[in-house]
Amino acid sequence: MDADFTPEKIRWIVQGMIILLLSIAVHEFGHAYAADRIGDRLPRRQGRLTLNPMAHADPIGTLLLPLLFLVSTSGLGFGWGKPVEHTTHDRKKRVYISFAGPAMNIILGTVVAIIHCALVVSGALRVDHALSTALGYAVVLNFVLFFFNLLPAAPLDGGSVARGLIPRSWLDTWDKVAVYAPFVVMAFILIGPLGQVFTYPARFCMAKVYEGLAMVFGTDTLTWYLKAVFRL
């Protein structure tokens, strides 16, 4: 464990926790909002229809593990929020609710990328500033959360999406196999090469978003920065 708490390390820990808390909150809010839109008021009654991070925070998955990871490494790690409960049994509506969380991460990542580009192009933020790096990591984290959560394995959102889309005749077999799905998820988290399944498309999409924004803003500064810092 890296115990060298330099000012830069402390700043990174604080920034990383803020990024994770906001990203997880937006994700869980997406589930709650989708459920509320189709008439399921349970998330609203439970206080989940909010962007307040504390309403969605899980003590271990949102606070403890991410903090330990940030302290011991230079990466953002992973985390999860408190699951949003709903009473919907309709398969199509459940797919809608499940997909809404990852979709919110794509929206947040894209919005942060736009803000990042606007700040750099306007001169309000240097491209090599620590905040610029934090914004870049916020973008890539949210794209990673999108692709990771859509892996077709329980308890990830992708497992619920897949279950809602497969033929009904396959459901019994799916449910029997789903018992082992959490072990598959852990394998993707712990085995580096397997992680490329969701980190590669996340980084690819991030690069394309920034390249598109660079064209819109008429600058190649951020494109160069992504290649130099994030190796995209």
Could you give the CA distance from residue 144 to residue 155 in angstroms, rounded to a whole number?
17
Q: How many CA atoms lie within 13 A of 186 on its CB side?
A: 4
State the helix-helix crossing angle for 130-149 and 91-122, rounded to 10 degrees: 160
Q: Return the closest-CA partner of residue 130 out of 214, 209, 24, 18.
A: 18
Catalytic choice (8, 28, 85, 211): 28
Phi, psi of 57 (to 5 degrees): -80, 135
Q: Return the closest-CA partner of residue 136 out of 22, 32, 226, 12.
A: 226
Q: Alpha helix locations (H) across 91-190?
A: 91-122, 130-149, 157-165, 171-178, 181-190
- Which helix or strand (DSSP H or E) is residue 169 part of? none
For Cα atoms 186, 25, 44, give the angle at the middle one, nearest 5 degrees: 115
Could you give the CA distance from residue 96 to residue 102 in angstroms, rounded to a whole number?
11
Give me 4's structure tokens.
């060298």
Catalytic-residue membership of 85: no
Number of H-type helices and E-type strands within the chain: 11, 0
**Which residues have a catalytic role annotated?**
28
